[in-house]
Structure 1
Amino acid sequence: MKGFIFDVEYCWGFQARIAGMSKTSSSYLFPPPSTILGAIAESYNVRKGRSESQGVSTIVDLSKGILSLTFKSLNAIPISFQDLNKVVAIRTSEDEEYPSTVEVYKSFDAPARGKTILSSLDDKPPSLRVVLIVRDSDITVDDLWRIRRIGSKESLVSVTNVNEHDVKRVGKEFETDYAIPVLDDIEISSRGEFLYQFTSLLTEEA
């Protein structure tokens, strides 16, 4: 097993809309693990010379070797909101090309799109720290350094630090401030929109 710890700085925040909702869906408070995995897969595909059409299969393959993928905010709090966005239809449907001066209402739209601002608590850019633990995976440090966005194409990030570590399993229970799934039979305390719980984790090998 090996683990990676890397820090990313956001320019303003991100857009990772909740799946299964309408076109006016809100954005998650923090990027879900699947969004972070997608960012890693994009960089991984570039190194492997794979096309965008192989993105889904790459995520499936990488998921098989991932034991843990979590994160925490270093200096930012999320503010989720929705604003109006002008959408222009560029397509051909039933022999009609859009945008069209005839079918104006089918050519343009202005739905509310969810976004999340990461508001910094200090004078530094809003940052997240991500922990990735893998087994039998060829993800490299270079793949993580080359991540350029986490979220939609507007959710630009800069990777500021990447470290690789050897890890081992431990049975000691301790408190963590990283995001983890809500598990059964685990003590949980709630503070606002965040849940705090106790569980055992993988740690760096001594």
Structure 2
Amino acid sequence: MVRIKAAVIHCCLHWGFSVRAFPGSAVQPSFLIPPPSTIIGALTKGIMWNVSKELFFVSDGIVSPIYRFIEDYWPFYITVLVDTDLAPARTKIAIRYMTGIYQAKLTVEQWAKSLMPAQFFAPVQVGYTVIPGSSLYIIYIGDKLPPKTALWSLNRLGSKESMVSVIDVYTYEVEATEIKKDDKVEVVNTCTPSFLIKDITEGMYIVEEIPFPLSKDEWLLHARVIPCPSHRVMLRPIHIPLNPSKGLVDVTVRDDVYEVELDMGHKVLHIIMPRSIMVG
């Protein structure tokens, strides 16, 4: 067994959230769950806002304060449980979007001469994931946890209208159980990388590809101001349980994993994560 530190943020989704897929385009669908990269950005705002708001240079590029947050509080693993009886509904809303010069359907000279209001705006469909009144549990596992004040400061996930209210914060130091390849885990009720799962005896789920960093280098790529060509490396298929009260039952693992149970009194979170992440 290995001792790990973990934190759980229990929050309420008022209507849902909007976390759009990269890069932005004419149609921007929202992910079905908030990706770990979005969660890190939201937590960084809470702790770094009074420390460092500025962009700064590192040896190979320009980075945001997220870089400093990850250096200080590198998360081995971040996942979520969306506690709802309703399957997340994906929808789109058409809005007026202000276009930049580089998006105009005219040359820069033509655009500068006319400056017509119609050329400043264009309709765009923005994606939303709707799960009103649902509970969201964010699980943060790392060698050093962010201060509780940062965990409590979470107020949105994704776009500015994606408000959340933190209900409670839990911290743990628990034993992670080693599970060997092809062995079974009794229950998994949190979102899990699909490459860890070989077979499921019972349980409903959706698989979606989302940004899901699993090493320090991958986490640091998200801190870059200019997106790097290797961004797609971090898009991984994820099993999202649709009945979290029951979870995925008798899960056969495809690789060696750690199993972690976090008991909050009213609910127990069952997590599996790759053994390799503990060394980055």
1:13-162 equivalent positions in 2, closer than 5 A? 13-20=16-23, 22-47=25-50, 49-53=51-55, 54-58=64-68, 60-61=70-71, 65-75=74-84, 76-89=86-99, 102-119=115-132, 125-135=133-143, 137-162=144-169
Q: 1:71 to 1:184 in 2, by over 3 A?
A: closer
TM-score for both structures, normalised by structure 2: 0.60
Q: Which has the higher contact order (CA 8 A, sep 6+)?
A: 1
Give, in whole Å, the separation in 2 of the partners of 1:37 and 1:56: 7
Give, in whole Å, the separation in 1 of the partners of 2:155 and 2:54: 15
- Deviations 1:18-58, CA, capped at 9 Å, x for gaps: 113623121011111111121111112125x1115333423
Give, in whole Å, the separation in 2 of the partners of 1:155 and 1:130: 15
Task: Name the amino acid aligned to 2:75.
Answer: I
The alignment covers a number of residue pairs equal to 196
Give, in whole Å, the separation in 1 of the partners of 2:197 and 2:27: 36
Gaps of 5+ in 2: 56-63, 180-184, 208-238, 240-247, 264-280
Asked if the contact 1:84/1:113 (under 8 Å) is kept, the reply is yes
1:91 Cα deviation from its structure 2 partner: 7.5
- Aligned partner of residue 186 in structure 1, secondary structure: strand
Q: 1:115 to 1:143 in 2, by over 3 A?
A: same
Asked if the contact 2:48/2:69 (under 8 Å) is kept, the reply is no
1:166 is the counterpart of 2:176: no
Task: Name the amino acid aligned to 2:42.
Answer: A
| Two-structure CA RMSD over aligned residues (Å) | 3.1
Q: 1:52 to 1:106 in 2, by over 3 A?
A: farther
1:169 Cα deviation from its structure 2 partner: 2.3
- Deviations 1:63-92, CA, capped at 9 Å, x for gaps: 7x2122111112253111111001234789
TM-score for both structures, normalised by structure 1: 0.79
Asked if the contact 1:71/1:128 (under 8 Å) is kept, the reply is yes
Q: 1:185 to 1:83 in 2, by over 3 A?
A: closer
- Aligned partner of residue 69 in structure 1, secondary structure: strand
Give, in whole Å, the separation in 1 of the partners of 2:197 and 2:10: 31
Shifted more, 196-205 versus 18-27: the winner is 196-205
- Aligned partner of residue 171 in structure 1, secondary structure: strand
Give, in whole Å, the separation in 2 of the partners of 1:103 and 1:8: 45
1:101 Cα deviation from its structure 2 partner: 6.7
Shifted more, 141-150 versus 20-29: the winner is 20-29
Asked if the contact 2:157/2:163 (under 8 Å) is kept, the reply is yes
Asked if the contact 2:20/2:30 (under 8 Å) is kept, the reply is yes
Asked if the contact 1:175/1:198 (under 8 Å) is kept, the reply is no
1:95 Cα deviation from its structure 2 partner: 8.5
